[in-house]
């Protein structure tokens, strides 16, 4: 697989009155990449250029090794696109619609039907796929939009604000689905959002743009790798009615400093401690086993990407991405 | 990568029902590209013009109009056979002119169906994020509506022709008349489809589209035929003939009376002569080409 999925070189797009993209140079590798920016930061303009639908004013860009200026059709055959806005006719069923879109991507009729059935199942649409789309919930419509972008098994998908309009549960499900597009389906993803926070769990790499300029491009691991905070949650037993406290005391006795997870969901039941290395994990396991408690969770708590930006000196930068989290 | 995913089972919220997820399968089959996609859009749009592949409700009107188009032809044939007539009560070329209201109604209902829906529900970006380009979309839609109109207008001619042969009318005469009729309705289909689509593509609202197409077709015809009648009464026949350039149906009438042996429906039955006829042909072709150009311009702007 190519090392670079998307590459732009001082890419600019100027309209008579606004500059949508200003000398943007960025390389995106395989995996899930978040494109973050406030509304009007140039995200959609960038996608349009990458699909070969709108010529750049200057600079160049390549998608999957193909030049956007000259090989647009070849790019569009290999990528999928999920628009931000509604794009579904209400009077046809999801199956009919996605089959049609598969054929529009060049799949023969039989393959289009098979791929449609597969893809709709993967995005989580079952019996309802035979009903007209007009009766679907927002979450189901988003799934159909995603399915039409995946049905021709592209190498790369552009997802424009896929969590827009979803409730928290739907949002989590959509983010999980996006993660699976890469891990299970092997398709690279470029996902845009104006919320930095929600991309943290999902993306391998985050590109932040503002006013058409690149603010930052780095892997999510870089953003968060300094942290080694562990979060622990345990059950209570008859012997230890307050299991959390018992663990805290036992760990304290072994010289490990533990904090309450105050300010976090489930505060009071969650303990935070700084892991010194592999040994800390074993220690925690042993302590809890000795107490006879059940371990509900033990996870690495990453810092929010937003925190990384908060530490930044550039106040403007904070402004642009501070809505995350 | 994807194919190596081990099979896993997903439990549904229902509890004991398990859906066995065989994992993601990638697609290695053929990708047939742009021309295939254009053909797919054409066939989908053509089927859609008769409500096929759409809801039962949307089949009613086009099917009804199709039947209304064909019934008079069937009756004429029945009469011709029963009375052992020497010729059909109506020329092949005249049929579409007489039935123009039905044709107009069909264009008005199906042109917005074909393009306004894509605009209204913003489906257009999904097309243009695929291999096809503006020209492919416009040509597929145009060809589909023109074909649908051709089916609508040629089917009754076929009924007449088959009936005429059954009634043992003169084969050469009938075949010639049928062929002339087909050329005429082909031209009519292209012209009406173009005008209908241009009007419909301006508005994402289907209702407006329907009203606008009906208005343009009927008002232009009403105005032209009134002016022609006035010109006829005042004895300026030539002016009357040239007025016919300003409505689609009289354009077709002019073309076929000049070149396709049709009797004109113009006042006094006098259509354009050959020289004037060339003007009618040029205007008709100009309108068809112009409609196509306008559609191209319209869709250039509809990006994502």
- Domain carrying residue B228: 47-299
Lowest mean pLDDT: which of A219-233, A306-320, B90-104? A306-320
CA B58 to the chain's CA centroid: 17
A263 confidence band (pLDDT: 50, 70, 90): low
Question: From chain A, which residues contact B within 8 Å (Cβ)?
Answer: 44, 47-48, 51, 53-54, 73, 76-77, 79-81, 83, 85-92, 96, 100-101, 103-108, 111, 115, 118, 121-122, 126, 132, 148, 152-153, 184-187
Contacts of A80 in chain B (CB under 8 A): 129
Option in A77, A108, A148 nearest B131 (CB): A77
Chain A contact for B35 (CB, 8 A cutoff): no
CATH of segment(s) A6-222: 3.40.50.300
Kindly give the pairing relationship between strand A188-193 and strand A156-160.
parallel
State percent of chain B over pLDDT 70: 91
For residue B11, what pLDDT is reported? 42
The whole-number pLDDT of residue A264 equals: 56
Q: What is the pLDDT of residue B199?
A: 96
**Total domains present in chain B:** 1
Tell whether B19 is covered by a domain.
Answer: no
Record the pTM: 0.80
Ranges of residues in chain B whose predicted pLDDT is under 70: 1-22, 237, 302-304
Residue B21 lies in a domain: no
Domain-wise residue ranges, chain A: 6-222, 229-301
Tell me which chain B residues have a C-beta less than 8 angstroms from the C-beta of A132.
Answer: 55
**CATH assignment of A229-301, given 3.90.70, 3.30.70, 3.40.50, 3.30.750?**
3.30.70
Distance between terminal CA atoms of chain A?
Answer: 33
- Judge contact between A48 and B303, C-beta under 8 A: yes
pLDDT digits (tens, 9 = 90+) for A26-69: 999 999 999 988 888 889 889 999 998 888 999 999 999 999 99
State the nearest Cα–Cα gap between B120 and chain A, in angstroms.
Answer: 9
d(CA B11, CA B109): 47
- pLDDT, residue A258, reads 79
**Inside any domain, residue B217:** yes
Q: Is the dihedral of CA A79, A85, A87, A93 positive or negative?
A: positive
Confidence of residue A295 (pLDDT cuts 50, 70, 90): confident
CA–CA distance, A287 with A258 (Å, rounded to integer): 13
| Cβ pairs A/B, distance under 8 A | 117
Interface predicted TM-score (ipTM):
0.85
- Inter-chain touch A152–B303, beta carbons under 8 Å: no
Residue B5 inside a domain? The answer is: no
CA distance A227 to A308: 11
Identify the pLDDT of residue A177. 94
| Record: contact A76-B41, CB cut-off 8 A | no
User: Above 50 in pLDDT, residue A205?
Assistant: yes
pLDDT tens, residue by residue, B10-55:
444 444 555 555 688 889 999 998 999 999 999 999 999 999 888 8
Who's near B192: CB < 8 A, 6+ residues apart? B103, B104, B107, B149, B217, B248
Bridge partners of B10, per DSSP, are B19
B37 within a domain of the structure (yes/no)? no
Of B54, B121, B130, the CB nearest to A76: B130
A184/B131 Cβ within 8 A: no
- pLDDT at site A222: 66
Q: Is the pLDDT reported for residue A223 higher than 80?
A: no
More confident residue, A229 or B254: B254
Look at residue A291 and give its three-state secondary structure.
helix
Q: Residue B216 and residue B181: Cα distance in Å, rounded?
A: 25
User: Is residue B24 domain-resident?
Assistant: no
Q: In chain A, pLDDT over 70 holds for what percent of residues?
A: 86
pLDDT at B12: 43
On the 0-12 / 13-18 / 19+ scale of CB atoms within 10 A, B213 is buried
Least Cα separation, residue A149 to chain B (angstroms): 9
- Is B122 close to A111, i.e. CB distance below 8 A? no
Residue A201, pLDDT score: 76
Reduce the DSSP state of residue A26 to 3 states and report it: strand
| pLDDT score for B253 | 93
- B18 occurs within a structural domain: no
d(CA A272, CA A316): 32
Is the predicted pLDDT of residue A251 greater than 60, yes or no?
A: yes
Note whether residue B36 is domain-resident.
no
Give the minimum alpha-carbon distance from B252 to chain A in angstroms, rounded to a whole number.
35
* Closest by Cβ to A73, choosing from B34, B54, B304: B34
């Amino acid at each position: 697989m190519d090392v670079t999925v998307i590459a732009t070189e001082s890419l600019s797009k100027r309209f008579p009155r606004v500059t949508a993209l200003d000398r943007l140079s960025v390389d995106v590798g395989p995996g899930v990449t978040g494109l973050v920016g406030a509304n009007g930061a140039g995200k959609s303009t960038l996608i349009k250029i990458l699909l070969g639908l709108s010529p750049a004013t200057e600079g160049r860009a390549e998608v999957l090794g193909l030049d956007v200026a000259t090989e647009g059709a070849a790019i569009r055959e290999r990528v999928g696109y999920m628009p931000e806005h509604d794009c579904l006719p209400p009077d046809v069923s999801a199956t009919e619609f996605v089959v049609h879109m598969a054929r529009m991507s060049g799949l023969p009729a039989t393959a289009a039907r098979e791929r449609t059935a597969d893809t709709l199942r993967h995005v989580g649409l079952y019996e309802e796929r035979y009903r007209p789309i007009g009766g679907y919930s927002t979450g189901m419509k988003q799934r159909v939009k995603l399915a039409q972008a995946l049905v021709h098994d592209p190498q790369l998908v552009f997802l424009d604000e896929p969590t827009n309009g979803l409730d928290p549960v739907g949002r989590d499900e959509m983010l999980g689905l996006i993660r699976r597009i890469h891990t299970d389906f092997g398709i690279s993803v470029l996902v845009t959002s104006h919320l930095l926070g929600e991309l943290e769990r999902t993306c391998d790499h985050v590109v932040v743009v503002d006013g058409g300029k690149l603010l930052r491009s780095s892997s999510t691991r870089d953003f968060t790798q300094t942290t080694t905070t562990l979060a622990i949650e345990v059950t209570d037993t008859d012997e230890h009615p307050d299991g959390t406290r018992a663990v805290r005391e036992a760990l304290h006795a072994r010289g490990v400093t533990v904090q309450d997870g105050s300010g976090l969901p489930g505060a009071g039941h969650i303990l935070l401690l700084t892991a010194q290395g592999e040994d800390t994990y074993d220690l925690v396991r042993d302590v809890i086993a000795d107490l006879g408690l059940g371990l509900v969770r033990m996870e690495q708590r990453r810092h929010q990407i937003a925190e990384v930006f908060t530490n930044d000196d550039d106040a403007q930068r904070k402004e642009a991405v501070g809505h995350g989290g | 990568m994807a194919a190596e995913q081990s099979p896993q089972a997903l439990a549904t919220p229902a509890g004991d029902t398990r859906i066995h997820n065989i994992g993601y399968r990638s697609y290695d089959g053929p990708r047939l590209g742009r021309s295939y996609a254009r053909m797919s859009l054409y066939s989908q749009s053509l089927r859609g013009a008769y409500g096929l592949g759409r809801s039962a409700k949307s089949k009613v009107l086009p099917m009804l109009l199709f039947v209304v188009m064909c019934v008079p032809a069937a009756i004429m044939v029945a009469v011709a056979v029963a009375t052992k007539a020497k010729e059909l009560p109506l020329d092949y070329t005249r049929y579409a002119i007489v039935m123009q209201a039905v044709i107009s109604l069909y264009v008005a209902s199906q042109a917005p169906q074909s393009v306004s829906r894509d605009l209204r529900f913003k489906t257009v970006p999904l097309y243009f994020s695929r291999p096809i380009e503006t020209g492919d979309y416009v040509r597929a839609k145009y060809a589909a509506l023109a074909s649908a109109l051709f089916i609508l207008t040629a089917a009754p001619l076929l009924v007449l022709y088959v009936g005429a042969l059954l009634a043992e009318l003169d084969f050469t005469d009938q075949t010639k008349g049928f062929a002339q009729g087909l050329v005429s309705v082909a031209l009519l289909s292209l012209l009406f489809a173009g005008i209908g689509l241009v009007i419909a593509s301006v508005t994402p609202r289907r209702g407006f589209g329907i009203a606008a197409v009906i208005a343009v077709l009927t008002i232009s015809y009403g105005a032209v035929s009134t002016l022609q009648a006035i010109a006829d009464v005042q004895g300026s026949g030539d002016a009357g003939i040239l007025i016919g350039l300003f409505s689609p149906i009289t354009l077709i009438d002019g073309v076929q009376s000049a070149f396709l042996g049709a009797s004109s429906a113009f006042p006094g039955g006098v259509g354009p002569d050959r020289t004037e006829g060339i003007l009618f042909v040029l205007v008709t072709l100009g309108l068809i080409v112009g409609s196509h150009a306008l559609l191209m311009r319209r869709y250039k702007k509809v990006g994502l």
